Amino acid sequence: MVSDVLVVGAGLSGLWAAERLRAAGATVEVLEARDRVGGRVWTHAVGHDRFDMGGQWVGPGQDRMYALLERLGLETFRTWDEGAAVLDLGRRVTQYSGTIPRLSPLKLLKLQLVLSRLERATDGVDAEQPWQSPEAAALDATTVHSWAERQLGDPELQGILQSAVRTVFGADMGELSMLHFLAYLRANGGLMRLVETSGGYQQDRVVGGTQQIAERLAEGVGLAHVHLGEAVRSVAREGGEVVLTTARSTWRGRRVIFALPPHLMGRMHFDSPLPTLRAQLHQRAPMGATVKCLALYERPFWRDLGKSGAAVSTQGPVAVSFDNTSHGGKQACLLAFVVGRPARGFSERPAELRRRSVLDAFERWFGPEAGRATAYHEVDWAQEPWTGGCPIANLVPGTLSTFGRALRAPVDHLHFAGTETATMGTGYMEGALEAGARAADEVLAALR
């Protein structure tokens, strides 16, 4: 049997594309390597509730996500951010309110000036074709680290920006080009929206977890058409058909949508070689390194201390923390992110040392009770074989200006989705939906 469309990847992007295609009358089969749907959204039972171990937040500007949640009958609730946040600079631990940490007047002025310059630079980048932006090649040859050294100077300010960059990208400033950085900010409404809770991308969470979105989309596609444990090994062209081979099956379709991070396509054999730009792009898009750590408690004691549970640290291994208590206060929880360089060797340490390093950070910020967690759970996304990291694939310096045009351009009967290919909401669930819709529309136009 030949399907109209084969979709590779049952994350949000692939499932959203598949549902749109099915609604338009196309025959669709979805192939997923894992034993579950969701990709980078994954909800897991921990303690007395279920927690998101992957993507979990939605916020202002993510209109597709809010519309989909409403359509699926899923509710949201606010991330707790009442009270003081913590800034750990090593030599001292301070508290602050709002988004900008408490700094000396001179440092605060410096930071605000640099943020203004960053905003202007972001506005100068073409959201859909960053490689066409003025000075694209020069920006792509400059790392965020070298830019921050020139603009900020002060090591403490650089450390704060490093923590933010690690959290958003799962990579260090020295690993990102300014063009990639600015294009990402442009696609998401600027740096402040990325790092803020209320009014930003961490504002809301989904009652019951975000994996429900994928599960309900899969039901909409039809569970008989979503095939788990089907990792694509080879891609061949036979006449007007594309043939995908897995360890146990052969699938035929008129069109294929690959809805997965670019580097995973490098594992597949293509009988007809991909164009050079597309093939080499797969080698230049490593995933970020993110370990998501949850500590459970009998109660959210930090709230009684007037603290929000949020912290920013330049000391590592934990870069940031959030109050992650489940809906209705059913299970008190603090969330920590170990990201970027500190994340890469984290899983090599003994489990108890990893747990202790996270709880020690919480104890430093929120007092001795934080060291007495009732349970601890972590997921190192670099150890997930069908993801290889989180939250996003980062294009290494020199890539976006040269290879970026291949990121979402169809190749013959092959189309590309996944949040990395989005022009709005890139790196987030919002971007996954945008990319899935765009790829589905491309395919429908080609099938007519």
Domain 43-55+76-81+200-206+288-383 sits in CATH at 3.90.660.10
444: number of Cβ within 10 Å = 17
Query: Which residues have C-beta within 8 Å of that of residue 134, sequence separation ≥ 6?
Result: 124
For CATH 1.10.405.10, list the domain ranges present in the chain. 105-190
Quote the tokens at residue 70.
């409403």
Count of other CB atoms within 10 angstroms of residue 112: 12
Cite the beta strand spans of 345-427 per DSSP E: 375-380, 414-416
Residue 333 has pLDDT above 90, yes or no: yes
**Fold classified for 105-190:** Guanine Nucleotide Dissociation Inhibitor; domain 1 (1.10.405)
* pLDDT confidence bin for 316, thresholds 50/70/90: confident
Average pLDDT for residues 287-299, to the nearest whole number? 99
- The whole-number pLDDT of residue 194 equals 96
Q: Which two tokens stand for residue 152?
A: 């900020």
Q: What residue spans in the chain does CATH classification 3.50.50.60 cover?
A: 2-40+210-272+412-447
Inform me whether the pLDDT recorded for 100 exceeds 80. Answer: no
Average pLDDT, integer, range 343-371: 97
My answer on whether omega of the bond before 155 falls inside 30° of 0, hence cis, is: no
**Protein fold of 2-40+210-272+412-447:** FAD/NAD(P)-binding domain (3.50.50)
Instruction: Enter the tokens of residue 383.
Output: 């150890």
Parts of the chain belonging to CATH 3.90.660.10: 43-55+76-81+200-206+288-383
The pTM assigned to this predicted structure is: 0.96
**Element housing 84 (H / E):** strand 84-88
Rounded Cα distance between 233 and 122, Å, is 39
| DSSP bridge pairs for 177 | 143
d(CA 424, CA 10): 21
